[in-house]
Homo-oligomer: A and B are copies of this chain.
Amino acid sequence: MEVIELIKRRYSCRKFDPKPVPKELLLQILDAGHLSPSGMNAQSWCFYVVTNREKNLAIGKKIEEAAADKLGEMVKKSHERGCPDTVFYGAPAVIYCCTKKSGGVLKEFDLGLAVQNMLLVAERIGLATVPVALAKWYGDEIIRHDVGIAEEDDFFIALPVGYRAADSGDEPRPRKDDYFKFIE
């Protein structure tokens, strides 16, 4: 499949099937991320992969509770959709994407480069994904503790990975116009 087709086809998943993801597939996704370029070749990323769905669910629930005042409406909607949690959407595996504290000033941009490779390879091998920023906003301390993020790393974004639930109801999101300008 052409890469542009893969880019067009992929869209985020907000309800996962509980079916586990084989470790071999997760390794392919990680490999793709690690092969992205980075400023000064710093490779200031690292990935903690939790493959125990119950553990991810428990972390998601804790974050829901900690941010109940902010997530209230979202939590209600998720539960109505049959989604067990609003943070990882019931995903069987979560890749907790981190940057190295020792990394350079481009580390969040570089992590973006790496994560996009991961999203595309996941799509190619039949897996759905969704980068989740609120895991950091509301769950940084919970994740740091429960996942066991090392002192030298910063958690930045969660990447739930799994098979899209048949009834997820997810749709691609519209794009804005006017995002570029040519100058001769």
Pairwise interchain contact B156-A109, C-beta atoms closer than 8 A = yes
Pairwise interchain contact A183-B147, C-beta atoms closer than 8 A = yes
Copies in the complex: 2
Pairwise interchain contact A180-B116, C-beta atoms closer than 8 A = no
Given the complex of chains A and B, what is the CA–CA distance between A105 and B175 in angstroms? Answer: 19
- Knowing A52-B184, A112-B111, A180-B49, the reply to whether A175 touches B119 (Cβ < 8 A) is no
- Knowing A41-B173, A133-B39, the reply to whether A51 touches B183 (Cβ < 8 A) is yes
Identify the A interface with B (CB < 8 A): 1-4, 6-8, 10-12, 23, 26, 28, 30-32, 34-37, 39, 41, 43, 45-52, 55, 105-106, 108-117, 119-121, 124, 131, 133, 147-148, 156-157, 173-176, 179-184
